Amino acid sequence: MKAIGLHTYGGPEVLQAVELPEPHAGPGEVRVRVRAAGVNPADAMLRDGSLAEWYREFEPPFIPGMDVAGTLDEVADDVKASYGLSEGEPVIGILDNHGRHGGYSEYVVLPAESVTRQPVGTSFPEAASFLMNALTARSILDALALAPGSTLVVTGAGGAVGGYVVQLAAAEDLRVVAVASEHDEEWLRSHGADTFVARGEGIAQRVLDVVPGGVDAVADSALLHDRIAPAIRDNGKIAVVRFWDDDPGRGIVVHPVNVRSRVTDNAAITRLREQVEAGELTLRVAATWPADQAAEAHRLLEKSGLRGRPVLEFPPAAAM
């Protein structure tokens, strides 16, 4: 089968077409004929060597990609009985990609728990654009476990993860303070932010100016860390999406979040699909490319101010 991967770490230009053996579904698994694969920062981290230590036990080529949408073409008998899934159904899935197992592939095999039906009314690129980021946002809110009415700062609120935190938090009656570029203010207010604070210098004090005494928690998708921690009240919380080993003090609890721990949480995955269908979550595709132009998608991903996700498209089986 065709996949897009890399033999050496580097810039977008290291991504190239590779041929790999076709995988097949075993017990508890499904095989997806991929039609679209979302392009996420985790993919760029794999490509540029940021995850080299994690990949040192694997032989290249390495295949990026955690978000996929496509059709089921192999479904184990036990899955048909337990999940009601069958060949030909359009689905979305999230991969714990590693080594040669990644979403930039014509076919991927996944645990049945990692897939759900494609949201009604969405295209394959739209369906491939959201799950990893929305599940990360869900994990952030679950880690913080805030009561309705609590005040939550969301940094990087204009980005994919931050935007979904804003929407999910608003649906749970949290008071959301969105921190982002001024260009994002209108979109964020229309999608659930109660208060907007422009990003930049002195951000913690400017948050305190609108929330005297400090906020209950921060969802720090912009990796501001100690630059935003002073805005948290004593004994508050901060969720971080990459490791942060500092102690913010004052009894503030740091919650590291890694979406890979949730890739088989079928209840959460299915609920996010339902929230897309209900209009509670907005899908944003920045641009689409044929899979063999993955380097261009990665170049766009690295541009500042990107809103939405680049998506790679694979042709239907009949066109191969």
Place of tokens 């645990």: 111
Measure the CA–CA gap between 141 and 260, rounded to whole angstroms. Answer: 16
Residue 306 is predicted with a pLDDT of 84
What single-letter DSSP state applies at residue 277? H
Query: Would you state the pLDDT for residue 315?
Result: 93
- Residue 320 is predicted with a pLDDT of 47
Alpha helices per DSSP H over 24-177: 41-48, 52-55, 77-83, 124-127, 131-144, 160-171
Q: Is residue 210 in some structural domain?
A: yes
Mean pLDDT of 250-270: 97
* 81 falls within a domain: yes
Residue 211 inside a domain? The answer is: yes
Residue 267 counted as domain residue: no
Identify the CATH number of the domain in which residue 192 sits: 3.40.50.720
Domain with 181, as residue range(s), is 133-260
CATH number for the domain harbouring residue 292? 3.90.180.10
The pLDDT tens digits for 62-113 are 999 999 999 999 999 999 989 989 999 999 999 999 999 999 999 999 999 9
214 shares its domain with 306: no
Residue 319 has pLDDT above 70, yes or no: no
